[in-house]
Each structure stands twice: as structure tokens, then as C-alpha cells.
Structure 1
């Protein structure tokens, strides 16, 4: 088995006041292995994006530990440690319209990381690096001199991907990178991410709510609901043999490009079921984990 590159243990991220906290993430634990893609899915507001932002240290976490390549990054305080961490882990943001500075050219957007980290001070070397990055994401070197408003949505997201690759990271958090794009462009961007992963030996945490796309790109899938990971396992296993009622409900809502199937498709409504204090993560099948009590998981498995 591949080495663990990321370990998340008991991660909590609360907002608001101590008396009435909003539990965006409520004690989740999972691992990501080198070279794989872990898909993180769930409805809007379940805590997916907050998980990604907490892992990359955009938020100071409330509780828990995050180990990256064996080091506890939650203990990093110095600028030097954080800069080194950010060279290894980068993020692709959801909205390509909002995540690019409209006053900067594409080349300046990518080069900003070099200014922060003191890299490629030679002008020609820097231009060559920016040009090769743009070409690697399907754009031209000439695009370096254009501003964000001169690009389409898909092209802007490609610039966002190039920016994420600028420091040669080993781990990328893709926070719903295709949700703001047209369907035809979504497939192109996902295929690009798969190619880049193979070429650069990247590991992804792929956050999305489009279950069909997540299955296509992910090796394993974690299903999130109300700040908890309620089910985790191999992608095919989660799709073919879901156990948690919430996962079954999500999968029943996925449309299929088959009119005969669509006419007969029955959606499964989800009725929220509280998990008591003795709730825990249970390995229902080898490599297939479900959150609940022993009684609940036993009932869900047999249903």
C-alpha cells in the first residue's frame, strides 16, 4: 500500500460563539495516500470546503491534528515553516471569476508565488517557467500578458490550476474546481487534472457535489453530512454498495444519460437519523467505513 501523505485526526472547526457554536466540521478523521485522489462529497453547507481550507491552514482549527508527510502542521507557527508547507500543498478554488485578481495579468497571477517564496528572480527564467506552466494546462505562452476578463470561465480555471502548480506541490486540494463551469468544459478540466496527476505524481483531495464526476476521478470517496464523514470507501464500493441512508439518497438523485432508466428511477428521500453519543466509525466491510452506532450500522447493512 502507498504511504500516507495526509492524516486528519479528530478535526473540528467551529464558528460563532462558545455558547452557540456553528459546528462546520465536527470531529472527522481520514487519511489520504500518496498518488491517490480522495473525493469528498456532500450537499452544500455540509463542511466540504471548510475541511479543505482548514487542512491548508487558511483557518486556525478549533481542535484536532493534521499531519502532512508525518509532520504536525497544526503546530506550525513560524513564517518559514508555513511557507515550506505551502510549497508542498496548494489549492484550486471554486470560482475562477473571484479567485483571480482582475488587475493582474495571468503571468503576474502565477508569478506572485515566486515573489512570496523568492524563486526565479531571473526575468527570462521566470518567463520561461510561466510559459511552460500555461502550456501544461492547455493555454499559450502569449496568454501571460492578458487579464482575467479576457478569458472564458474554463480558461480562467486553467490559470488557477497553473497557479496551483507554480511551486511544484505534491498535494493539491481541488475545492469544487468544476462547479462554476459548463458541462462540456467540466470534462476537459477533469481530464486535465487526471493527466497532470499522472505526469507530476500529484495527490488530490477533490471536493465536489457532482457524484458522477467524483466517481470518474476518485480512487476513494468520503461522504460528508452535517460536519461528519458518514461513509468512506473505495469509489466503486461506495457507488455499488452504499450503506448509510444519506449516501443511498445522494446516489438515487444522480441523473443518468439513459431515458429508459430515468423514467423508472426512484429517488430515495433521506430522513435524518440522529447518532447517539456511542456513535463511532465502524468498518462494515473491509475498507468500507460507516459512522453510526452498532445497532444503526447493523440495520443499514441488512436493509
Structure 2
């Protein structure tokens, strides 16, 4: 990945929420990472780890407390809301949301939901071109174009998420943040949606940030994975390294929780419990302990891995 272009660069991002003095929630607490063009970057962690907040900060649904977010080399934290630059940025970066029921306007027909981005960006010249574009997008996500006059309530959860994917693709983005896009779906449908996302990525050369709490599914779709805990990235490596050679105790605990489709093996599977009472130390930081393998640790622990 070293030779690939960095499409997203996150540098010392902090996203704090003030819920009344003296309380302050450090949802994202000084994290840094890069996402390379054409890859799928997985971000995994339990609820409250800060992974969804990270995605929403990158796409500027939240204004970062501090730090830099570079998209194609431009610091997007400095883009003014409702400006022409923000409109251009929104077209280049899109989001697929977790809940396919809540993320679609129930009063709008599918055709208008998908075409909303086309209309805002003036990407079609007339109604015929608009309809043709929506038909193409519905075909791309394997839905019947004849259904464009229907409302969201007439579709299943998996179909609704496909509509959400079509909406994100309408403006021809470079980068898509998928925020737990399969967690609200039946297990039988999850693999279909993930395979669809992979097929579209190959066809259109897209870059994904795939956010989830299910490490097994993240491994399946991701090239590299960052593991978040309590607002910090505690481990970052290739998908295979995270899965086969985890170093951080939190990563090990997540992996040990993945069920195995074998009754005998499952019966003897040992869960690794992570001690949530342990706090981060001031002398710890994310550092490369093995080639391409980053760990949140102190210098002494890093030296042991390097040896």
C-alpha cells in the first residue's frame, strides 16, 4: 500500500462532546491513520468505542474538536458549511447508514430518494435522463427498476439498504463510508450486501471505510483493519495480521468472541476477557512494532516486539 495514493489522512483527530460542565465525552481521542485509494479500510470496535463518530467526523457531519482530516490533500475541517466547496466535497464522499429503515424518507418514492443527489448537483438535464440514471443505479444494486415508483415501506430491510447504496452511488463518489451497513439486516442477507459492495467497488474503483462491530465480517471485506477502544486506535494492521497475529489484549478478546461453525470446537472455545478497568497510560501511543503492524503501547513494549 505504500505506493498507493492516500485518499484520506486523519491526523490527531479529537472529537469531544460537552454534556455539561465538568463532564466531557472524549468520543475520539487523538487518532491518526491513512486510507489508500482503492482499498477497504475496516474500523471495528464495540458500541461506544468511537468508530461511528470517527466516520461522521471525516464526512463532516460533526465539526472536529481538533486535528486534521485531509481528503485528496485538502484539509476538509476548514471547509465552510453550505459553501460551494462543501457541496463539491459532499459529492466526492458519501455515506451508507446503519439503519435502512430510518435513513430513507418514508414520504418519498424510491425514484426521488435516489435522485436527490442528482437534483442537488444538477447532474441530469431533464426528467428522461434523470429516470434513466435511476434505472441504471437500481440495476447496479440488483433491484427492479419498475419499483422506483414505490415507497420505502414496501421493501424488505435488505432491499432498503440497496436503495441506500444506490443513493450513495448516484453522485459518482470516490470514497464511501459504510457505517455498520449490515448490522440491522438478517444474517442471510448480510453476505449478499457485502458481496454487492465488493462487486461495485471493483466496477467503479471505489475506496471504502467499513465500520462494524463484527470482526469476522470486517475481515472478510477489509484490506486493513483498525481496532478502536475507548476513543483510541489500539491496533492497526492488515486484515490477515489482525486475524492471525493479534497483539493487543482488546483485539484478542474481540476475536475470541467470534463463534465457530463447528459444535465440537464451539463447545471448547475459550473466551478471552478484556480488563476494562485498565486505563491508558501517558507514555503509550500508536507505533509501528512490526512492518505495517501498529500497536498502542509504550516504548518498552514496542522494543520487545521489534526484537
Coarse TM-score class (shorter-chain normalised):
over 0.9
- Please, which runs of 5 or more residues in structure 2 have no aligned partner? none
- Where does residue 245 of structure 1 map in the other structure? 249
TM-score, normalised to structure 1, is 0.97
* CA–CA separation in structure 1 for the residues paired with 2:167 and 2:109: 12
Q: In the alignment, does 2:293 pair up with 1:288?
A: yes
* CA–CA separation in structure 2 for the residues paired with 1:261 and 1:287: 32
Q: In the alignment, does 2:178 pair up with 1:160?
A: no
Q: Shift in Å at residue 121 of structure 1?
A: 3.4
Q: In the alignment, does 2:221 pair up with 1:212?
A: no
* CA–CA separation in structure 2 for the residues paired with 1:110 and 1:282: 42
TM-score, normalised to structure 2, is 0.95
* CA–CA separation in structure 2 for the residues paired with 1:171 and 1:131: 22
* CA–CA separation in structure 2 for the residues paired with 1:34 and 1:239: 23
Q: Shift in Å at residue 298 of structure 1?
A: 5.7
> Residue by residue, what CA displacement relative to the aligned partner does 1:252-284 show, whole Å, maximum 9, x if unpaired?
001111122111210000013322212111211
Q: In the alignment, does 2:25 pair up with 1:30?
A: no
- Where does residue 104 of structure 1 map in the other structure? 108
Q: What SS does the aligned partner of 1:186 have? A: helix
Match of 2:120 among 110, 116, 122: 116
Match of 1:185 among 166, 173, 189: 189
- Where does residue 125 of structure 1 map in the other structure? 129
Q: Shift in Å at residue 297 of structure 1?
A: 4.6
- Please, which runs of 5 or more residues in structure 1 have no aligned partner? none
- Where does residue 13 of structure 2 map in the other structure? 11
Q: Is the 8 A contact 1:40 1:223 kept in 2?
A: yes
- Where does residue 64 of structure 2 map in the other structure? 61
Q: What SS does the aligned partner of 1:81 have? A: helix
* CA–CA separation in structure 1 for the residues paired with 2:32 and 2:69: 9
Match of 2:46 among 26, 43, 50: 43
Q: Is the 8 A contact 1:275 1:293 kept in 2?
A: no
* CA–CA separation in structure 2 for the residues paired with 1:264 and 1:55: 41
* CA–CA separation in structure 2 for the residues paired with 1:296 and 1:15: 32
> Residue by residue, what CA displacement relative to the aligned partner does 1:141-172 show, whole Å, maximum 9, x if unpaired?
11110100000000000000000000000100
**How many corresponding residue pairs?**
301
* CA–CA separation in structure 1 for the residues paired with 2:198 and 2:265: 29
Match of 1:202 among 202, 206, 211: 206
- Where does residue 78 of structure 2 map in the other structure? 75
Q: What SS does the aligned partner of 1:133 have? A: helix
* CA–CA separation in structure 1 for the residues paired with 2:5 and 2:214: 28
Once the two structures are overlaid, the 10-residue window that deviates more, 164-173 or 12-21, is 12-21
Once the two structures are overlaid, the 10-residue window that deviates more, 73-82 or 193-202, is 73-82
Q: Shift in Å at residue 42 of structure 1?
A: 0.3
Superposition CA RMSD, Å: 1.3
Q: Shift in Å at residue 294 of structure 1?
A: 2.2
Q: Is the 8 A contact 1:173 1:206 kept in 2?
A: yes
Following TM superposition, the consecutive aligned residue runs of length 4 or more in structure 1 with deviations greater than 3 angstroms are: 295-299
* CA–CA separation in structure 1 for the residues paired with 2:270 and 2:289: 26
Q: Shift in Å at residue 295 of structure 1?
A: 3.5
